[in-house]
Amino acid sequence: MRIRLNAGHGAGKEHNRGGVLFNEGDNNFHYSLVLKAELETYENVKVDLVRNKITDNPSLAQRAKMGQGYDLYLAIHSNAASDSSVRGTEVWDSVERPNKQLAQLLCDTTAIFFNHRNRGVKYKEGKTGYNWYGELRFNQAKSSMIIENGFHTNREDSLIFRDKQKELAVVQARTIASFYNLKKKAIKEDKPHWAQKHYDSLKAKGMEIQETRFDDKITRGEVFALLDRITNYKEVK
């Protein structure tokens, strides 16, 4: 499956958005990298970013276009309120292509992780039948939604969204994976190559070999050299 992560806003102070501990646009970008890496620990997932560099800041319409060809388009944000005590997670699901089940799962697991208020899944219409939010409007991804990971105007939410990114990514990636039935990639064992024992055996017999690129092709010249060495070879006792 293909996922597009859209880190909201752009880089620097211009995109602070009222953040008490970070500029929202910077923090969204950092988190998108962490979430991408975590999602890619699952099989058959390809994750692309809207912002490949922190300074990238495409328009909302351009961002929405980048959903084309994706199964899931997730816009990463944090929320703002004039009252700095307000905390909570909410998810804005697409009016045009709703996926309430996934939106609800993400909202629930994220609110539990932050240990704050679950503000629920919401829909906002502009023109009838169309999303009010530019990132979701005309977005052709099969599912698209915006997640507000706590309030950057609140200190506790900000501390978590800034300092617990890996842990949050594990929770959100696991939620997405369970919805799409994705399996965790097997961790590769350090098994020796099947040819290693033959290499070791030849070395033990005193054969002069240095080559250990076991899966590389052999050239005709190397075959001749090898045959010559074998036919001249006398086992050392």
Tell me the site size for Zn ion, rule CB under 5 A: 2
Task: Tell me the C-alpha distance between 165 and 188, whole Å.
Answer: 25
Shortest distance, position 75 Cβ to Zn ion, whole Å: 8
- CB closer to Zn ion, 45 vs 89: 89
Alpha carbon distance 156, 208 (integer Å): 65
77 lies in the binding site for Zn ion (CB under 5 A): yes
* Cβ at position 32, least distance to Zn ion in Å: 13
Contacts of 115 (CB under 8 A, 6+ apart): none
Instruction: Say whether residue 152 binds Zn ion (CB under 5 A).
Output: no
Q: Which stretch binds Zn ion (CB under 5 A): 58-66, 76-84, 177-185, 200-208?
A: 76-84
Count CB neighbours of 223 within 10 A. 10
Q: Which stretch binds Zn ion (CB under 5 A): 30-38, 77-85, 138-146, 173-181?
A: 77-85
Q: How far is the CB of 93 from Zn ion (least distance, A)?
A: 16
Nearer to Zn ion by Cβ, of 77 and 162: the residue is 77
**Interface region with Zn ion, contact rule CB under 5 A, candidates 4-12, 36-44, 134-142, 204-212:** 4-12
Task: Name which of residues 97 to 126 contact Zn ion (CB under 5 A).
Answer: none
Is residue 150 a contact residue for Zn ion (CB under 5 A)?
Answer: no
Cβ nearer to Zn ion, comparing 70 with 161: 161
Residue 24 CB, nearest distance to Zn ion (Å)?
A: 5
| End-to-end Cα spacing for the chain | 59
Minimum CB–partner distance for residue 179 and Zn ion (Å):
24
| Residue of 85, 67, 233 whose CA lies nearest to 145 | 67
Instruction: Determine, following the binding rule CB under 5 A, whether residue 8 of this chain makes contact with Zn ion.
Output: yes
* Cβ nearer to Zn ion, comparing 31 with 70: 31
Which is nearer to Zn ion, 27 or 45 (by Cβ)?
27
**Cβ at position 174, least distance to Zn ion in Å:** 24
Rounded least distance, CB 199 to Zn ion, Å: 57
Q: Which residues are at the interface with Zn ion (CB under 5 A)?
A: 8, 77
